[in-house]
Amino acid sequence: MHRFIGFIVLLALISSARGQTDYSYRYWYDSDLSTLQEGTASGETTIEIDIGMLEKGTVHIIHLQGKDARDTWGCVRTQYFFIKEESSTESMTARYWYDNDDTTVTTTSTVHGFIELDIAGLDAGMHALHYQTFSSEGKASPTRTQYFFIKNESDTQSATARYWFDNNEKTKKTTPTVNGTIDLDAEELAVGLHTVHYQTFNAKGEVSPVLTQYFYKKDEPQLSSLTCRLWIDDEEDKAMAFGLLDDIVIEAVELAAGTHDLHVVVLNANGEQIAEGMTTFEVDAQRTVTITLKAPVATFSCEKGLDFFGVTGFRAYTATGFHRYTGDVLMCHVEEAPAGEGLLLVGEPGTYEVLVRKSYNYYSNLLVGTPEATVIAQTADGYDNYMLSFRDGEAGFFLAEDGSTVSAGKAYLRIPSNEVAGARRLRMVFDDNPDAIDSPFGEMEEGTIYNLSGQRLMRPQKGINIKNGKKVLVK
């Protein structure tokens, strides 16, 4: 048995907010009502139709009809299709002509059932196409007729359209077209299945045939008229009400650690429930993380996800890119970070409390977090590794020595070796100050002392110190 699969019944059938609305349809082939088939469907639907009884190697017509919102059968929509004979596909030919004009008769071959038409000699306006096909044995199909419209590009702006719904002439309206698109006013139609009938007119008054299309008007209340109620776990008596367009913030600071259920109910303007849902979330037993910033710039990583929003005194950055020609690393400001993310913190030295938050924002980050002390090589697995340091009055990433140790809770920079070509030092460019390629320390106070890691010192220590932006060796 042959079947034709993929015929879409009715355009844009979308379920309403209250559920899917059922409708009926029926179809038949050519002019033979004995082939009539009926069915029901809901929403956007694809049906499978049986064409096993139809003759191959010829053109056929399928007629489709649906019940509209008034429970009456709408206009019949017609579609031509071709059933090819596999053995004779290559030798199939077709003959066509226009407007009952024998001088336009053309014979051509078909390609996979398609006929390529030559309309170069036709004027703008309405035309009729007549065609029939021939099998390899010379058997001819019935003559089929199809109307089409050739538009005059110069008349596009002055084209108009006329349309009406559900065979109701009282709804007939005339409107201009915009680039061939018609803006339909369906405000007064009831929710459900409808038909729209339309035809176009060009500047010369030439009219297209009436075309019919099915569509479904869904029940879609204005979002501004909807409200929602939210509550956690079984405490519905403590439900909070919001407008659906409001910014919704739920404070969970008093919740016990563990998994909780968030319930949501959506209500229409009449207070009727139209949707509901439930999701789970987890509250961490640890609510904050203490961060001690010993230098104006430092790398950092944490085993918890963190929320930096509202934190004053420092900012957190990820390394999102590298410019191979300038040697600059692009640092991107972030308001939150998932657990283990490598970060760069820039700000005032001090101690800060940062909220723990389960973050789902993951970054393309060149900084690698180190949850525990990690020994790195200068080059490994096709990458060059860099560590943050403060030299010559400027913070930057410097090529690591083999066997260097990155402390727990810190991060190092990893750049593909073919990008950096052994560069000894990389500078930082910050996205919230794109012109800044110098140290984020700003102007150093007179007499301020730092070590090579950028940590501020109360007094000079043995080794190399940075004082007033210059290296000082203390023995």
Q: What is the DSSP letter of 420?
A: H
Long-range contacts from 16-24, C-beta under 8 angstroms, 24+ separation:
16/191, 16/218, 16/219, 16/220, 17/218, 17/219, 17/220, 17/221, 17/274, 17/275, 18/219, 18/274, 21/191, 21/192, 21/193, 21/216, 23/66, 23/67, 23/192, 23/193, 23/216, 24/66, 24/67
What's the pLDDT score for residue 99?
A: 81
**Percent of the chain that is helix, strand, coil (3-state, to 5):** 5, 50, 45
What's the pLDDT score for residue 465?
A: 65
Place of tokens 């389960």: 358
The CATH class given to the 223-283 domain equals: mainly beta
Burial class (CB in 10 A: 0-12, 13-18, 19+), 335: middle
What's the pLDDT score for residue 151?
A: 66
What's the pLDDT score for residue 5?
A: 32
What's the pLDDT score for residue 203?
A: 64
What's the pLDDT score for residue 306?
A: 92
- Both tokens of 71, joined, read 């429970």
What's the pLDDT score for residue 129?
A: 84
Written as one string, the DSSP assignment of 6-34 is EEEESS----BTTBPPEEEEEEEETTEEE
Per-residue pLDDT of the chain (475 residues; tens, 9 = 90+): 333 333 333 332 222 233 345 678 888 887 777 788 888 876 556 677 778 778 776 777 787 877 765 666 666 677 777 776 654 445 578 888 888 777 888 888 776 667 788 888 887 766 778 888 777 666 777 777 777 767 665 554 556 788 888 877 778 888 887 666 778 888 888 877 778 888 877 666 667 767 777 777 776 666 678 888 899 998 899 888 888 777 777 766 678 888 888 888 888 888 888 888 888 877 777 888 999 999 899 999 999 999 998 899 999 999 988 877 677 888 888 888 989 999 999 999 999 999 988 776 666 789 999 999 999 999 998 899 999 988 776 788 999 999 999 999 999 999 988 888 778 888 888 876 533 434 444 444 556 676 655 556 667 777 666 666 555 667 6
Domain map of the chain by residue range? 3-83, 223-283, 288-467
Dump pLDDT digits (tens) for 256-274: 888 888 888 888 888 888 8
CA–CA gap between residue 213 and residue 391 (Å, rounded):
73
| Helix, strand or coil, per DSSP, at residue 237 | helix
Give me the CATH code for the 3-83 domain, please: 2.60.40
The count of C-alpha atoms lying within 13 angstroms of the C-alpha of 449, restricted to the half-sphere facing its C-beta, is: 12
Domains 3-83 and 223-283 belong to one CATH topology? yes
Question: Closest Cα partner for 389 from 463, 325, 321?
Answer: 463
The count of C-alpha atoms lying within 13 angstroms of the C-alpha of 92, restricted to the half-sphere facing its C-beta, is: 22
